[in-house]
Amino acid sequence: MRWGWLNGRRPDGSPAVPFEVSCVCGHVFRGQRQARAQVLSCGQCNQPVFVLPASPLPAIDSDPSLSQPTLPTRSVWLWPVLATAVTMLFAGLMVLSVVTWLPRRSGPRKTDLGAVDSHLGLGRQALAASRYRLAQQHFQTALHLARQAAELPAATDRELRRLLRQAELLADLSTDSLQQILRHARGVPAEEWEAFFARHYRGKAVVLDVEVRWDAAGGVWKVLGLRLPVGDDPHAQAHIELGDFQLLRSVPASGTHRLLFGARLAAAGRRAGGGWGIRFEPLSGVFLTDIEAVVSCGLPTGDPQLEAILRQQRAWVEQSP
């Protein structure tokens, strides 16, 4: 063994490398690694113990700057990537704005407005022929197309909604007149009639051509000249009660008015205070405003006052919220 190893240094001048190896029996060997591997014999169990040699390579100086290289604080690709992303985002927004702007710029297509007029005309024909469900379908389709036409005239929109309300009401017309309903009610116990009415008549629509006048003393509208006999007794008459009927709020409370309107039945029979009465659902009233609805109900169309009545009722409908 060379002097350098005995002096605790390797022949190349670098410090000697110590070792500490345990035998399988637990005995610990300590010493200096040599240029070649060593095989030691354990004095307790006589088992051989292998010790690796020292590395022939020179020791590496410990330099923190070499062991932990520093990376640049920002990658050289950061700004190009960000610029590309911003450019793509801006381009996408421009395309989206152009796509959404073009339909508004070009306005509704003529085919859309033509389809609205077509369904409106077909709906009027169906309404005049008392084909109320078909009329509803045409008016609803026309309204759906109208919502897609940004420049649809407001008058057409109001016309469609007005016609649809009339068709919806007339589609639920009662097959019995008010006189027939009252004839059924006479002679039937009150509780039994209430159950029968709820099953067969409540919510059904009726159409009236009547004159009304505002009773300032009672604060109610009264129907004039309408006779509704109950059964065969000419003295038993039913009265139409309009106290909570909302449709007449748009009618001026002065003078006498002839009205053509429809409403849904809420009650018909004996009143709690005596007598007979007929009440409508408060919000169910619909003015007849178009000649097709009048024709479908079988009302006379040769009346010289008819056009003026319809025109006046259209004005009331347009004034109501």
Query: Which tens digits make up the pLDDT trace of 192-213?
Result: 999 999 999 999 999 999 999 9
Higher pLDDT, 169 or 109: 169
Looking at residue 58, what is its pLDDT?
66
- Contacts of 310-318 with CB under 8 Å at 24 or more apart are 310/260, 313/259, 313/260, 313/261, 313/287, 313/288, 313/289, 314/162, 314/287, 314/289, 316/250, 316/251, 316/287, 317/162, 317/250, 317/287, 317/289, 318/158
Q: Which pTM value belongs to this model?
A: 0.64
| Cβ proximity of 265 and 280 under 8 Å | yes
The C-alpha torsion from 222 through 224 and 228 to 229, rounded to 10°, is 110
* Joined tokens for residue 275: 């007598």
Q: What is the pLDDT of residues 288-307, one digit of tens each?
A: 999 999 999 988 888 999 99
| pLDDT, average across residues 150-157 | 79
The mean pLDDT of 42-56, rounded to a whole number, is 79
Strand partners for 280: 265
Q: How far apart are CA 279 and CA 282, in angstroms?
A: 8
Cα separation, 222 vs 254, in Å, equals 12
For residue 50, what pLDDT is reported? 75
Confidence of residue 35 (pLDDT cuts 50, 70, 90): confident
| 129: CB partners within 8 A, 6+ apart | 296
Check residue 232 and give its pLDDT.
73
Top-ranked range on mean pLDDT: pick from 12-16, 66-70, 214-218: 214-218
Angle at 169 between CA 265 and CA 113, to 5 degrees: 165
DSSP state of 55: P
Higher pLDDT, 76 or 131: 131
Model pLDDT, residue 105: 47
The percent of residues above 90 in pLDDT, for the chain, comes to 46
